[in-house]
């Protein structure tokens, strides 16, 4: 089925549904993210564009680290993150589909914001498979990486009921904009892709209780 599946989430969900899938591989510690930039917020907003063509170059692990931190990094001692979340419930999970990253094997990785690490979930370059699941969009196949934004709806709907579905959709917009702006400061380009077959993406990533909401290929401009 194209687009989102029927959402039948209730506040009475089971606790085990709230957990993301467990880590599989060993944790890879990411470079420490920068908290400052020579580029102003205003300049970044002015220059932000949706970019679908990239140079055939690797990204560095430091750049990947910065993008993941911008998406969901921890910014407060109590666990606050870079993107706002209704009730501070943080339903978002970020997956890295890595194809060309300096010093990192190709594969599918899950980001752990608390530890700022990634863990491998699937071996091998999955970019072509994700591209096929996204109606053959070449930008996903050709980009050195894609970030897949997924959500565990139950983390939010257990408190807010059906209204929580809207809150999750608002939140994925916050996360996507963070990635857009961070990419701009790094001299990278990205685009939010919403056209894909949900179940095919879930199968590629091995998702169970998480729903993919957006795919963001990233590459050098």
Domain ranges of the chain: 26-220
Confidence of residue 52 (pLDDT cuts 50, 70, 90): very high
Confidence of residue 25 (pLDDT cuts 50, 70, 90): confident
Q: Which fold has domain 26-220?
A: NADH Oxidase (3.40.109)
155 pLDDT exceeds 90? yes
122 pLDDT exceeds 90? yes
Cα-based angle 69, 48, 31 (whole degrees, multiple of 5): 20
Within the chain, how many helices (H) and strands (E) appear?
Answer: 7, 7
> What is the structure's pLDDT at 19?
59
Question: Do 49 and 190 meet the contact criterion of CB atoms below 8 Å apart?
Answer: no
Q: Which of 129, 108, 144, 130 is nearest to 28 (CA)?
A: 108
pTM of the model: 0.90
> What is the structure's pLDDT at 196?
99
Q: Find residue 27's DSSP bridge partners.
A: 119
63 pLDDT exceeds 80? yes
Percent of the chain residues past pLDDT 90, beyond the cut: 88
Q: What is the mean pLDDT of the chain?
A: 93
> What is the structure's pLDDT at 58?
99
If residue 180 lies in a helix (H) or strand (E), which one and from where to where?
Answer: helix 163-185
Q: Which are the contacts of 203, defined by CB distance < 8 A and separation ≥ 6?
A: none
> What is the structure's pLDDT at 195?
99
Query: Which pLDDT tens digit goes with each residue over 77-104?
Result: 999 999 999 999 999 999 999 999 999 9
Q: Which of 208, 74, 199 is nearest to 151 (CA)?
A: 208
16 pLDDT exceeds 60? no
Question: Euclidean distance between the first and final Cα of the chain, in Å?
Answer: 33
Average confidence (pLDDT) over 164-193:
99
Calculate the alpha carbon distances from 172 to 83, 123, 179 in Å.
9, 26, 11
**Cα(82)–Cα(69) distance, rounded to whole angstroms?**
7
Average confidence (pLDDT) over 195-216:
98
Percent of the chain residues past pLDDT 70, beyond the cut: 90
12 pLDDT exceeds 60? no
219 pLDDT exceeds 70? yes
Q: Which are the contacts of 70, defined by CB distance < 8 A and separation ≥ 6?
A: 33, 82, 178, 179, 181, 182
Order of strands across the sheet with 27-29? Answer: 27-29, 117-123, 107-112, 92-98, 145-151, 211-220, 188-190
């Amino acid at each position: 089925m194209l687009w989102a599946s029927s959402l039948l989430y209730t506040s009475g969900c089971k606790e085990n549904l709230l957990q993301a899938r467990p880590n599989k591989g060993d944790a890879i510690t990411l470079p420490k993210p920068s908290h400052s930039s020579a580029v102003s917020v205003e300049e970044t907003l002015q220059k932000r564009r949706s970019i679908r063509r990239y140079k055939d170059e690797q990204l560095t692990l430091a750049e990947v680290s910065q993008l993941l931190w911008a998406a969901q990094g921890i910014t407060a001692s109590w666990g606050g993150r870079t993107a706002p979340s209704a009730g501070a419930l943080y339903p978002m999970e970020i997956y890295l589909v890595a194809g060309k990253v300096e010093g990192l094997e190709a594969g599918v990785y899950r980001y752990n914001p608390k530890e700022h690490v990634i863990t491998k979930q699937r071996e091998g370059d999955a970019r072509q498979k994700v591209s096929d699941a996204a109606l053959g969009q070449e930008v996903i196949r050709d980009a050195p990486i894609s970030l897949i934004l997924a959500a565990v709806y139950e983390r939010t709907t257990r408190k807010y009921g059906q209204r929580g579905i809207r809150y999750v959709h608002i939140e994925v917009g916050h996360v996507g904009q963070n990635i857009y702006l961070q990419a701009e400061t790094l001299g990278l380009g990205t685009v939010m892709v919403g056209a894909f077959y949900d179940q095919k993406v879930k199968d590629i990533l091995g998702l169970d209780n998480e729903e993919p909401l957006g795919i963001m290929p990233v590459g050098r401009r």
